[in-house]
Amino acid sequence: MKVEQRKGDSYTDRLFHWLQIEERLPIKYERTIKPKVYKVLYDGEPFILKGYRRMHVIQQQIEFFEHWNYAYKIAARPFPLAPGIYTKSKLGCDWALFERINGRHADFDRDRDRKRAVRILHHFHRTTKGIAVLSIPKDPLYVKWERRLEQFEATKDIFTDFKKQDLYRELKSCMSKRLEEFTDHPWGVVEEKAWENQEWLHGDVAHHNFIINDEKQIKLIDFDLLHTGPRLYDHIQLAQRFLPYIEWRRSLLLKYFPHVEDRDIWWKGVLVPADLLREWLYGYRQSMREEATMDRHLGKLEKAWGSRKKFVRYAEHML
């Protein structure tokens, strides 16, 4: 088999040399999406090649998709590298192929895309309930948020250095108060029921994990955070993803989630500004590697918090 031209880095070169020459797979490199994620052609057809350092993450997905009868309608599925073989190990990773869905990422600034995302997530929850596959344990949402608050508190000095102490205090106060109200719920009972019913969560309902093709059909991708738990967690986090685009049309948010069963606790979860802290921490880590962007990143947080405060004040009256 002919080896292609260099891909631009030695790791990628070694990977594709191994796949093509040693494993004799009809796979061709197209481009790198991010480290250990590539667009490829396999036998002339478009796929995504992903590398996993934790083998149990990809093993769970493969087993899950084998039991999910409606996957072909809803998701980008794993694809065998060879008959009956879904992974191959090399360079410290287990490598797997996934269907590549040609299309665009969902745009949560569009009403139609928000509706599509809610609909496909609802179909995912409905069609995967009861799949008897061993789930990778995940912390409850409130525990994840408690950790995020601790990480936010560790960045206090930056707010002091840039004379943004009021922004820090307001965000910390709101996060602490809302998180306490959200945590004060019988989550142990809720989680146990979800485990017993084998309810599955996607776990990462960001806009880039919803792909809309040319026929306006939508599918889910990237199931690396797949696990069992209360579907409410996915609904809360999707609503938070919508918020930056509809905070000024506050009542609209409720209309997107008519099927949410426990509306009160869902609403309390939406009010926890954990998404703002997530974006802050992501940008903070980037800015620490390039100090000049820290002031700009703080400005983005301040603007986002200004909008969120108005929404929180409005939403408090609905609890």
pLDDT digits (tens, 9 = 90+) for 141-172: 999 999 999 999 999 999 999 999 999 999 99
Look at the pTM and tell me if it is higher than 0.75.
yes
Q: Check residue 7 and give its pLDDT.
A: 52
Q: Check residue 290 and give its pLDDT.
A: 78
- Which residue from 57, 43, 44, 40 is spatially nearest to 100, judged by alpha carbons? 40
Which CATH architecture fits 111-316?
Alpha-Beta Complex (3.90)
pLDDT digits (tens, 9 = 90+) for 193-236: 999 999 999 999 999 999 999 888 999 999 999 999 999 999 99
Domain ranges in the chain are 10-100, 111-316
pLDDT digits (tens, 9 = 90+) for 29-81: 999 999 999 999 999 999 999 999 999 999 999 999 999 999 999 999 999 99
Beta strands in 25-100 (DSSP E): 27-34, 37-42, 45-52, 78-79, 88-90, 93-99
Q: Check residue 6 and give its pLDDT.
A: 47
User: Which residues are CB-neighbours of 202 under 8 A, at least 6 positions away?
Assistant: 121, 124, 209, 220, 223, 225, 226, 234
Q: Check residue 1 and give its pLDDT.
A: 47
pLDDT above 80 for 126:
yes
Instruction: Please state which of the ranges 2-16, 248-262, 270-284 shows the lowest mean pLDDT.
Output: 2-16
Instruction: Please state which of the ranges 48-57, 174-183, 285-294 shows the lowest mean pLDDT.
Output: 285-294
pLDDT above 50 for 177:
yes
Asked if 108 and 245 touch (Cβ cutoff 8 Å), the reply is yes
Tokens of 83: 């008959």
Mean pLDDT of 12-36: 96
CATH of 10-100, one of 3.30.460.30, 3.40.630.40, 3.40.50.720, 3.30.200.20: 3.30.200.20
User: Which residues are CB-neighbours of 173 under 8 A, at least 6 positions away?
Assistant: none
